[in-house]
Amino acid sequence: MARYEVIGGKPLNGAVTISGAKNAVVAILPAAILVNGVCRIENVPDISDVRILLSILEGIGAKITREDGTVEIDSTDIHSTCPEPELVKKMRASYYLMGALLGRFGKAHVALPGGCNFASRPIDQHIKGFAALGADVEETEEYVALQPGANGLQGNRISLDVVSVGATVNIMIAAVLLPGQTIIENAAKEPHIVDLANFLNTMGAQISGAGTDTVKIRGVEALQGGTYAIIPDQIEAGTYLAAVAAAGGNVLVKNVIPKHMECITSKLAEMGAEIINYDDAIRIRCDGKLHHTTVKTRPYPGFPTDMQAQICVCMTLASGVSRLTESVYETRFFGYCSELESMGADIQINGKTAIVTGADRLYGSTVTAKDLRAGAALIIAGLAAEGTTYVKNIHYVERGYERLIEKFTGLGAQIRRIED
Ligand code: UD1
């Protein structure tokens, strides 16, 4: 098992380039199953979730070539609608194979996904969507099996009971090749929903409204190959910004869409960081002196739950008492708060809200990542802390951050990966 060693207390300086968005690419790679021909996808991050997905696609017959950040997928010869369960269970977004296989072949047999278990993560809204599109759904504790119901598969109107990124994506993918129109109401609006729609439209789909709460998909007969570049990762960018806010420094975060970052940068500015927006970059300067604030996580365009842990680290170092309320995944605090407390943080959890009393400093400790973003937060805490921090369970972090050691080292951080 590998771990990270982080020697803290040094400000971060220089420039860092953000990779393609994890949550976009894990939707777009399965969606390539729908395409007759070769999809050339650029700006694909080299993270373990992507490697697993590509293995799954190869296992069902897709031809994959990969060079640097570009992946070519030819789904013409896919011969199976039952992807390898052991691989499917290794990650969360493998549930998009359900929508993709249903859309292309009218059936799918997919194991229930694994990935970060920071909360109970039901998929009832995905299932509701597939059923509304006419699928017969068999759901067991091990897998979901889909096949056409008595009236066949066709577009329909679906109103989600909760705003779900995963359900919005899965229904969009499933509906693209079905006859008729599908309308998703109360849809999620995250940047990666828009990216998926742009990808599918580039390949010939007819999707409108992505990025609003009503997405319309007019079914087309086929999609053809083409080239598409993934958007920059909002959460990776937010993680580097939070690291500079916590550890201090002056960093240009390059290859970002500043509009996607407003929900995060506005809070960091409120806490005392200086933020300068350029067309596709953001400069952050911070002298390490932060003020307390109040944050409530919300679906986009609100403050993302995937930045909850990272902003919490900033709060542990801010003057005064901050309040951090989680409204998407209530149990997410348990993934990292006790680890931060072992570093000297003062956090009281009261239901959905963490009350964070800022301290002058954190101290190095040995801590364990319990999910991807919790792991990122512990690295930030280590960078800001006095002394040496060891972060264990880093396979979570490697699921979603490309070349993390290289990027932080490039900013002057003392961080290395140790193979035990
Ligand atoms: C996606 C992101 C994840 C992020 C989350 C919230 C990907 C691959 N992952 O996860 O990084 O933390 O959005 O922004 O994009 N819910 C239901 N029933 C469902 C689906 C969801 O009740 O069928 C609930 C969930 O329990 C949660 C809320 O809806 O409370 C939002 O979940 P959702 O947006 O679906 O999260 P994911 O797509 O799993």
pLDDT digits (tens, 9 = 90+) for 159-199: 999 999 999 999 999 999 999 999 999 999 999 999 999 99
Cis peptide before 45 (omega within 30 of 0): no
Q: Whose CA is nearest to atom 20 of ligand 1?
A: 123
pLDDT digits (tens, 9 = 90+) for 29-68: 999 999 989 999 999 999 999 999 999 999 999 999 999 9
Please work out whether the CB of residue 372 comes within 6 Å of at least one atom of ligand 1.
Answer: no
Say what the pLDDT of residue 117 is.
64
What distance in angstroms lies between residue 120's CA and the mean position of ligand 1's atoms?
A: 10
Q: Where residue 315 falls among pLDDT bands split at 50, 70, 90? A: very high
What distance in angstroms lies between residue 395's CA and the mean position of ligand 1's atoms?
A: 21
248 pLDDT more than 90:
yes
Say what the pLDDT of residue 118 is.
60
Q: What is the mean pLDDT of residues 110-121?
A: 76
Mean residue pLDDT of the chain comes to 96
Q: What is the rounded end-to-end Cα distance, in angstroms, of the chain?
A: 6
What distance in angstroms lies between residue 166's CA and the mean position of ligand 1's atoms?
A: 6
Residue type, 125: Q
Q: Give yes or no for a contact between 156 and 133, defined as CB atoms under 8 angstroms apart.
A: yes
212 pLDDT more than 90:
yes
319 pLDDT more than 80:
yes
Cα–Cα distances in angstroms (integers) from residue 159 to residues 126, 171, 184, 185, 186, in the given order = 11, 11, 6, 4, 6
Say what the pLDDT of residue 330 is.
84
Q: Give yes or no for a contact between 90 and 58, defined as CB atoms under 8 angstroms apart.
A: no
Predicted TM-score (pTM) of this structure: 0.96
Q: Where residue 119 falls among pLDDT bands split at 50, 70, 90? A: low
Say what the pLDDT of residue 278 is.
98
Please work out whether the CB of residue 14 comes within 6 Å of at least one atom of ligand 1.
Answer: no
What distance in angstroms lies between residue 304's CA and the mean position of ligand 1's atoms?
A: 11
Please work out whether the CB of residue 328 comes within 6 Å of at least one atom of ligand 1.
Answer: yes
Residue type, 358: G
Cα–Cα dist 318/359, whole Å = 7
Q: Give yes or no for a contact between 286 and 273, defined as CB atoms under 8 angstroms apart.
A: yes
Q: Which atom of ligand 1 is nearest to the CA of 192?
A: 15
Helix axes 372-384, 234-247, angle to 10 degrees: 20
Q: Which atom of ligand 1 is nearest to the CA of 125?
A: 23
Q: Whose CA is nearest to atom 31 of ligand 1?
A: 164
Say what the pLDDT of residue 1 is.
83
115 pLDDT more than 70:
no
Please work out whether the CB of residue 123 comes within 6 Å of at least one atom of ligand 1.
Answer: yes
What distance in angstroms lies between residue 7's CA and the mean position of ligand 1's atoms?
A: 34
Q: Where residue 116 falls among pLDDT bands split at 50, 70, 90? A: low
Please work out whether the CB of residue 160 comes within 6 Å of at least one atom of ligand 1.
Answer: no
- Residues catalogued as catalytic: 116
Say what the pLDDT of residue 420 is.
81
Q: Whose CA is nearest to atom 33 of ligand 1?
A: 164
Please work out whether the CB of residue 329 comes within 6 Å of at least one atom of ligand 1.
Answer: yes
What distance in angstroms lies between residue 326's CA and the mean position of ligand 1's atoms?
A: 13
Q: Whose CA is nearest to atom 35 of ligand 1?
A: 164
Q: What is the mean pLDDT of residues 136-143?
A: 94
Q: Where residue 335 falls among pLDDT bands split at 50, 70, 90? A: confident
Q: Which atom of ligand 1 is nearest to the CA of 128?
A: 23
Please work out whether the CB of residue 296 comes within 6 Å of at least one atom of ligand 1.
Answer: no
Cα–Cα dist 56/71, whole Å = 14
pLDDT digits (tens, 9 = 90+) for 249-296: 999 999 999 999 999 999 999 999 999 999 999 999 999 799 999 999
pLDDT digits (tens, 9 = 90+) for 340-355: 999 999 999 999 999 9
Cα–Cα dist 365/348, whole Å = 20
Please work out whether the CB of residue 305 comes within 6 Å of at least one atom of ligand 1.
Answer: yes
Higher pLDDT, 120 or 316: 316
Say what the pLDDT of residue 260 is.
97
pLDDT digits (tens, 9 = 90+) for 380-390: 999 999 999 99
Strand-pair partners of 286: 249
Please work out whether the CB of residue 121 comes within 6 Å of at least one atom of ligand 1.
Answer: yes
